[in-house]
Structure 1
């Protein structure tokens, strides 16, 4: 991104000038060669100005204009072997939908995407395309940078947003009613995908959601400024139009057990997609002080329970002066940027490696830095400090250096003896990931799980129990939206065979 923030209209006008040159060539019967396509600059994503956006909850990335989308689409080389499809967990026919954008037929592009992905507006925003489809892009490899690959996710978002704004979205074709019933536990990306695919096959599907709103991590974990909740609601509404029933405030394992759903309630197949909602902590002294939060709780209060909207929501939330977020993933970036929007004077991300090793998306890290969030690299808390009244007053941080690479390929952080120092803050948000909630396994005899509580499944997402399948974070651990959707699609195929 350049230092000057150009408006969406300015970027789209620049794109139109170059696009006109390309379309004139095509009109004259000339071919657009691979060399021509490689010369087209990657289109910059329009964004809110950093200082302004740090004080509001509006979406940061504003989305391509029509001319930007078409110009970016013309960068696609149309490879015959389509390596980008192989990088997509749900196998979206990427070259086909991009070809429709090149023609300006955005409705056709949306239909192509929805052959395999019913959540394109979500995936286009939050999927790590740079580690999936775009990592495999031939253009990016030719230009020796994944950042110069075709912006597949941004194009996916563009057609999905346009379809929603114009009200032209069509409900997928549904086969005649089968008379069979399926239950889906959890309404996150895995559950919604499974429900949609089963509903298309004519089965009666009911989703059971523990919270008061459906959407899973998309509504409780990902902030409004990255994924507007109206977009998730629109996808849920489409499912309802397909005939899917949704029961909220239903905690499987307490309201009804898994065995009751199968043996007493008449469901011929059940999918478990409850996510991983049990936050990890550091295990260091002081974690029980007032002012220490898991990122899971902090984001749930702020997102699902709308603590940011103090005029209309009664949700209590601690508004920090100096916040420290521990961790280097996307959740840490979300928590830090939310703390800033809740009025913190300063926000610091404490990470025990360097920026190069951070698992968070590079775009999210860049956005956080632009907004003024401070990064304390090669640091980690050894203890959290508090007042005699039990409130957080700071942390003792230890300095680190990088040693040899660990099993993940990242260089291991090594503590530097005697390097401890005091860092003053009044809020600590721990963003070290989540583990599986043990409730379902504890209340379901013979449901096999590993030592971390992740449900064990076969290649078809089948669990150790008859008629029960599982996928998403409860199987994978903390993963991505699109990987969870891939699990949901595989499970739906197997469940459909069972129901038939």
Structure 2
């Protein structure tokens, strides 16, 4: 192409200079992404994860998302830019080395990828399924500026599931024993994470769980079509293989007080969650057929009422069900009722845009046939012979933003209608359960009954007691509770070693 060696060298030099210029600080990230796109190197579209068809999945409680196979996972991992300053890690509340495990998947080293994740997070199978990555790690992915961010959650799930299927799951390395003992009250995401971090640091850890099965909200609250119990069980089994003891049917505040537990352990972490149901206080809420979402989901999930009469716990099945609320718990309740043969309506006082539930869960619910009544608020539950038969609702419109940043729903005067319903599920949030705190007068609480703890250390008003998760913040995400548990465990380790 070129008549002389000199011209060939000159052309080569120009190409090298042009390539280097894209990496120059003078060019913005967007400029470089544009350059990669023009060069055909950037892959803006993520590899779609397989899911079961809606007509099939509404008939059972099997998992909806099927995840990636090896080739799909590798293809998705190959999209990663492996940034020198990865924003995705900053977006992860537990600090997982995301580029590190993605690179190992790219190299088809998926067992090593799972081990890399577990250095920071002992629940990768859980997090890969239920964490809102789209608002956390994936929201920080630079690929999202020109296309789809890396499917971090799907890759995390792939690594966890393939490691489990291989039979070669590795237990995280443990430090030598310190001879110190730590108690963890509650076996939800905050408690399990605190327990794993404390065990890795060489402490003897006992987890106290009020129910007859460990896992907290992961077990009683999240349906198996989103989070199979086998995934929760295998990650709890990993925790037990690290030497953590789990004592079930232990109701802190009743079986023993906080003071009793403190007398046996060098430090205590409280991760009891916020499990006290909330209701609207409208007429008729005491009628039969009105459930809190907590009770409805606990019956269906933990107590297997969805299989009644094969299982002992009853629940109202089929008919017409209305679920009040717009969060993930409302979506879980609605989709559970649907799978038990009901016609399901969701009633939410704002518009679909303001729904706090994950977008994919709302989309799945719509695909499955759930009817959404937006800008609607119940004002009365109607009954016959002591049972719920209908609800009266009022139309709403959006006003000015409230303290949450969402536009405040305002009643439309005189605009009412009635919906027939056999079952009404209230999924409008939860509050702090006072069982433990009523027996611990030294423990400072805020006006809503949540434990007051440092936002940096999670230390409470009692020197050797720490707290984190929903019992401190109110209802939040699984991964936020895990982040609190991890930080608190680090502080507990320092405290125990210093006294």
**TM-score, normalised via structure 2 length:** 0.91
Q: Secondary structure, in 3 states, of the residue corresponding to 2:139?
A: helix
State how far apart, in whole Å, the 1-side matches of 2:57 and 2:490 are: 43
* Match of residue 479, structure 1, among 467, 476, 479: 476
State how far apart, in whole Å, the 2-side matches of 1:92 and 1:225 are: 26
Aligned to 1:171: 171
Aligned to 1:423: 419
Aligned to 2:232: 232
1:254 aligns with 2:250: no
State how far apart, in whole Å, the 2-side matches of 1:61 and 1:101 are: 20
Aligned to 2:290: 292
Aligned to 1:219: 219
Aligned to 2:15: none
Aligned to 2:327: 329
State how far apart, in whole Å, the 2-side matches of 1:297 and 1:448 are: 28
Aligned to 1:53: 57
* Match of residue 401, structure 2, among 400, 405, 423: 405
- Relative to 1, partners in 2 of residues 1:367 and 1:88: Cα closer, same or farther, differing over 3 Å? same
Q: Alpha-carbon deviations, 1:336-390, whole Å to 9, x = none?
A: 000011111x100001111111000000001101110110111110111111x11
Query: How far 1:33 moved relative to its partner?
Result: 7.7
1:245 aligns with 2:245: yes
In the TM superposition, 1:75-114 aligns within 5 A as: 75-114=79-118
Aligned to 1:441: 437
Q: Alpha-carbon deviations, 1:271-306, whole Å to 9, x = none?
A: 000000001111111100111000000000011111
Aligned to 1:496: 493
Query: Which has the larger displacement, 398-407 or 209-218?
Result: 398-407
Q: Secondary structure, in 3 states, of the residue corresponding to 2:65?
A: coil
- Tell me, yes or no, if the aligned pair for 1:54 and 1:371 is still in contact at 8 Å: yes
Q: Secondary structure, in 3 states, of the residue corresponding to 1:182?
A: strand
State how far apart, in whole Å, the 2-side matches of 1:97 and 1:176 are: 27
**How well do the aligned residues superpose, as a CA RMSD in angstroms?**
1.2
Q: Alpha-carbon deviations, 1:8-32, whole Å to 9, x = none?
A: xxxxxxxxxxxxxxxxxxxxxxxx9
Query: How far 1:40 moved relative to its partner?
Result: 4.9
In the TM superposition, 1:296-311 aligns within 5 A as: 296-310=294-308
Query: Which has the larger displacement, 68-77 or 429-438?
Result: 68-77
Query: How far 1:235 moved relative to its partner?
Result: 0.8
Aligned to 2:190: 190
Q: Secondary structure, in 3 states, of the residue corresponding to 2:419?
A: strand
Larger Rg: 2
Aligned to 2:33: none
Q: Secondary structure, in 3 states, of the residue corresponding to 1:392?
A: strand
Query: How far 1:59 moved relative to its partner?
Result: 0.3
1:314 aligns with 2:307: no
- Tell me, yes or no, if the aligned pair for 2:44 and 2:143 is still in contact at 8 Å: no
Query: How far 1:457 moved relative to its partner?
Result: 0.8
State how far apart, in whole Å, the 2-side matches of 1:169 and 1:364 are: 30
- Relative to 1, partners in 2 of residues 1:122 and 1:37: Cα closer, same or farther, differing over 3 Å? farther
Q: Aligned pairs, how many?
A: 461
1:270 aligns with 2:268: yes
* Match of residue 454, structure 1, among 450, 454, 458: 450
- Tell me, yes or no, if the aligned pair for 1:307 and 1:314 is still in contact at 8 Å: yes
* Match of residue 131, structure 1, among 130, 135, 142: 135
State how far apart, in whole Å, the 2-side matches of 1:35 and 1:352 are: 48
Query: How far 1:125 moved relative to its partner?
Result: 0.3
Q: Alpha-carbon deviations, 1:432-484, whole Å to 9, x = none?
A: 01110012111101100111111111121111012111101101110111101
Aligned to 1:23: none
Structure 1, unaligned runs of 5 or more: 1-31
Query: How far 1:310 moved relative to its partner?
Result: 2.5
- Relative to 1, partners in 2 of residues 1:57 and 1:37: Cα closer, same or farther, differing over 3 Å? farther
Q: Secondary structure, in 3 states, of the residue corresponding to 2:436?
A: helix
Query: How far 1:332 moved relative to its partner?
Result: 0.2
- Relative to 1, partners in 2 of residues 1:72 and 1:34: Cα closer, same or farther, differing over 3 Å? farther
**TM-score, normalised via structure 1 length:** 0.90
- Tell me, yes or no, if the aligned pair for 1:323 and 1:347 is still in contact at 8 Å: yes
Query: How far 1:142 moved relative to its partner?
Result: 2.8
Query: How far 1:83 moved relative to its partner?
Result: 0.6
- Tell me, yes or no, if the aligned pair for 1:37 and 1:77 is still in contact at 8 Å: no
State how far apart, in whole Å, the 2-side matches of 1:48 and 1:200 are: 38
Query: Which has the larger displacement, 33-42 or 423-432?
Result: 33-42
State how far apart, in whole Å, the 2-side matches of 1:34 and 1:298 are: 53
- Which ranges of 4 or more aligned residues in structure 1 deviate by more than 4 Å? 32-35
- Tell me, yes or no, if the aligned pair for 1:37 and 1:74 is still in contact at 8 Å: no
- Tell me, yes or no, if the aligned pair for 1:34 and 1:77 is still in contact at 8 Å: no
State how far apart, in whole Å, the 2-side matches of 1:67 and 1:242 are: 32
